[in-house]
Structure 1
Amino acid sequence: MNSCLRFISALLIMATLLAACSANPSLPVNSPVSIEDTQEEGQTLTIVNPESIDSNMQTEQPSDGKKYQIQTRLTDFHLLSSTTGLAWGATRNELRLYRTEDNGATWTNISPSSSILFSSNPEFGKDFFFLNKDTGWVIRNAISSGEAIILRTNNGGLVWKMASLPDVARVAAVFFLDAEQGWIVTEGDYRSSSEAKAVYLTKDSGATWKKIMSTPIIAADASARLNKLPKTGVISGMSFTDKNHGYVSVLEAGQPSLYRTANSGVNWSKVEGWFDHSKFTSCSRFSVDAPEFFRGNTQNGWVPFGCVKEDAIKYQGYFTEDGGASWSFVPFSVPWQQGDSAALATTFLNRREGWSLHGSLVYHTTDLGANWSLLPQSAKLSEIVLEYPNVLKVQFFNSQLGWLLVGQSDNNRSLLMQTMDGGVSWQVL
């Protein structure tokens, strides 16, 4: 009798265990699934699958839902409209590119093929450029003795096409005026003896490229270097106002310089007197950023530069109101920047309105930097900056909407934040 009872009890226990194993319900179809990358986490994105995916696309899409969540490290972003933006970063040499059209509530993975390896993180204006949510280019610099690869899409990343630039040391800047015409500037390795520059032009959306200017490594005489970009110096960025007129900023012999072209990049001349070193004799060194012309107005633009003293930097700028024909120096009455946010230049939305971030402190101007007001300090931004002290990038699309990217000192984690009241309050996207 006792053995029968023991047998029945064993059967009941086994049945209970089997029921428990099968009691875990399946997730609803639209329930987000978490896919974590424990190596490089930080930003949590809710991914929405695109309507159709090209065979070259690589995603971590679970098979049982249209939405899923990831944690990833972002290294750059770009706002395209008041609701649409791009964010990206390279993880294990694979570019992971995402687009949102609802202010960061959901994202679409529009990454190119994972078989194209990236040795560094693409930067907007340097080796990454998008005109709108559909049309964009990503450049993979040459690895070892290979060639630079230019990826392009005209349907929002559903399909990526590829072109190449052989024998290119490093792409320094890229700019597209429209969906057809664009330029690439390359330069040699500044750590070696060759810093030769070259300019490439495309008129077919990047399918083919023509070298239209090159600086000779060894010139037969001085005339061989006339009407060209300088052989020495590091290029900071490039911008064009129309099909003929463009500008390139260069840190040349340690000082900011500006070069311009009036024939689509074939010939270049230095803008003489643009930077007056005599006004900044107390600066130990300088930095210079890319020339920028404000959205919707190619007559108004500016070039930011930084004056470094010991471990602090102060950003100021040269502004133009006539498409670059003349430039005016504008000093900024903001504090000197130190620490992890020192590399972040002031940003301007238009000729009047701009912001300057100093850690969790946000300064705002509406009179071209003549006066700056310290905005009320955001408790959320102050909290986040304690854990993510590197203020990497800020961009405003209008007077109210802006994005901010912050990261940790080890560069393994980052967070993307948003303000919808002009920089007063911030939230993690």
Structure 2
Amino acid sequence: MKNVVLLSSVVATTIFLLAGCASPSSKPQPSPTGSRTTHVRDSNTPKNPATQGVQISQQNATGFSSIHMVSPTTGWATGNGAVWHTTDGAITWENVTPREIRPSSKLQTYSYSFSKNHFWLAVTTDTQTAVQIYRTSDGGQTWNMTQIHDVGYPMHLSFTDVNHGWLSLMQGAAAGSERESIYQTNNAGETWNKISYTNEIPGGTLPFEGDKTGANFVNTQHGWATGFSPVSGQVYLFQTRNDGHTWKSQNVPVPLSLHGSQFTSHPPIFFNQTDGILTVQVNAIPAGFLVYQTTNGGKSWEPSTLLMGTTRNAVSSTWDFVAPNVGFVTDGAKLFMTDNGGQAWIILQPNISLKGVNELDFITQTDGWALTTSGFLYHTTDGGYTWTKVH
């Protein structure tokens, strides 16, 4: 298993390595009740008839902002609220956007693909509009929609199987702090219950302090919330073992040479119930990148070797892991590969410029795709050395 999130209009799998990025400050405060239920509306809608059957030709840029291939032939992509599906190895793409969505750059979306047939898309237009979650189980031919009567930007969405998933909403920010609510589904997204929310008064719930990056669960009880910590030498990681009812800060060891640095952590990725990784950015110029590994279900985390950006103005890293030990990272100048969990990094020499690459998506150690900010898509079958332009 790998990082299988798709995000458009907000930020892709790109890890932004500068702290203090501006966030809308007018977002409302989440409900203080901590209710575990929410009113929902469920509707069945086919894909958008205006775009049904439309395909992207091989000569054109895709317009995608994110892509996830679930096999060598089948995958999903998003961009400006539109959803695309391929079954021929990314050569042609069918627009399967739900009929009720009108694609726009103003849409804030986060999506997740679990298989060639299962896909979820969380959508909102602004902080005052209720969040809608679309789901399909037949490759985008038909869609169901559930509306959560809560507001905020979809920040992270993940599933452990086709039934159990979690959605993190960003709901307003202040200097070094941010509100967040976490919703859970146990029925494939038909209904969603609020299980966690931030509280400005310490005591069990998620803390208001820190800029949030989302939450991820390894099972229905055990999960982690991540973000930016303004405290030097401290990695932001909170853990729950009771389905999000209470959260406790988890100690993450920081290399001695980085005790004066600040960090941003991102939701951990688990490949099974015991083996997972936690990716952490080092907020510096040039930027740094750390991979933490766990082999005991997240009870403890061990850091890898620090990977520093190769140019002074490298402020972001784009990454993808296909196994606990095998991953790829680019800083926009060079491409790195590890086969030992980040303890050592190999500098690859690809045949294309990596400038503008904002997403890497590998399905094996050799077979992968690279997507640029301008929407061009490249494919490699030799582990990142040789890339062929697909679109």
Residue number in structure 2 paired with 1:347: 320
Amino acid at match of 2:360: V
> Percent identical across equivalent pairs?
26
SS in 1 for 2:242: coil
Give the deviation of 1:67 after TM superposition.
8.7
Q: Could you tell me how far apart the structure 2 residues matched to 1:116 and 1:122 are? A: 12
Residue number in structure 2 paired with 1:228: 205
Give the deviation of 1:55 after TM superposition.
6.1
Residue number in structure 2 paired with 1:305: 280
Give the deviation of 1:239 after TM superposition.
2.1
Deviations 1:105-138 (CA, angstroms, capped at 9, x unpaired) = 2222211226445555666xxx211111211111
Q: Could you tell me how far apart the structure 1 residues matched to 2:65 and 2:314 are? A: 15
1:422 partnered with 2:383: yes
**Residue 146 of structure 1: which of 104, 129, 133 is its match?**
129
Q: Could you tell me how far apart the structure 2 residues matched to 1:248 and 1:354 are? A: 22
1:132 partnered with 2:124: no
TM-score, normalised by the number of residues in structure 2: 0.78
Q: Could you tell me how far apart the structure 2 residues matched to 1:338 and 1:159 are? A: 46
Q: Is the 8 A contact 2:134 2:146 kept in 1?
A: yes
SS in 2 for 1:160: strand
Residue number in structure 1 paired with 2:71: 81
Residue number in structure 1 paired with 2:46: 54
Q: Could you tell me how far apart the structure 2 residues matched to 1:55 and 1:280 are? A: 49
Spell out the pairing of 1:104-253 with structure 2 (5 A cutoff): 104-113=90-99, 115-116=101-102, 120=106, 127-141=110-124, 143-191=126-174, 195-216=178-199, 219=201, 225-253=202-230
Residue number in structure 1 paired with 2:305: 331
Runs (5+) with no aligned partner, structure 2: 1-44
The 1:72/1:396 distance shift into structure 2, 3 A limit, reads closer
Using the TM superposition, name which of 192-201 and 349-358 deviates more. Answer: 192-201
Q: Could you tell me how far apart the structure 2 residues matched to 1:339 and 1:289 are? A: 23
SS in 1 for 2:50: coil
Deviations 1:228-269 (CA, angstroms, capped at 9, x unpaired) = 111222222322212221122121336531112222222222
Q: CA RMSD in A?
A: 2.8
Using the TM superposition, name which of 176-185 and 415-424 deviates more. Answer: 176-185
Residue number in structure 2 paired with 1:103: 89
Amino acid at match of 1:98: W
Q: Is the 8 A contact 1:249 1:258 kept in 2?
A: yes
The 1:342/1:420 distance shift into structure 2, 3 A limit, reads farther
Spell out the pairing of 1:351-366 with structure 2 (5 A cutoff): 351-359=324-332, 361-366=334-339
Give the deviation of 1:403 after TM superposition.
1.1
Q: Is the 8 A contact 2:62 2:377 kept in 1?
A: no
SS in 1 for 2:150: coil
Q: Could you tell me how far apart the structure 2 residues matched to 1:252 and 1:214 are? A: 18
Which one has more relative contact order, counting CA pairs under 8 Å at least 6 apart?
2
Give the deviation of 1:71 after TM superposition.
4.4
Q: Which structure has the highest helix share of the two?
A: 1
Deviations 1:343-393 (CA, angstroms, capped at 9, x unpaired) = 124433223222232435322222222333333x233x13xx4xxx22201
Q: Which structure has the highest strand share of the two?
A: 2
Q: Is the 8 A contact 2:326 2:339 kept in 1?
A: yes
Larger radius of gyration between Structure 1 and Structure 2: 1
Q: Could you tell me how far apart the structure 2 residues matched to 1:359 and 1:119 are? A: 24
Q: Is the 8 A contact 2:227 2:264 kept in 1?
A: no
Q: Could you tell me how far apart the structure 1 residues matched to 2:296 and 2:47 are? A: 47
Q: Could you tell me how far apart the structure 2 residues matched to 1:365 and 1:194 are? A: 34
The 1:119/1:108 distance shift into structure 2, 3 A limit, reads closer
Amino acid at match of 1:348: F
Deviations 1:15-45 (CA, angstroms, capped at 9, x unpaired) = xxxxxxxxxxxxxxxxxxxxxxxxxxxxxxx
Deviations 1:161-198 (CA, angstroms, capped at 9, x unpaired) = 11112232233222222222212222321148983332
SS in 2 for 1:421: coil
Residue number in structure 2 paired with 1:265: 244
Q: Could you tell me how far apart the structure 1 residues matched to 2:313 and 2:53 are? A: 36
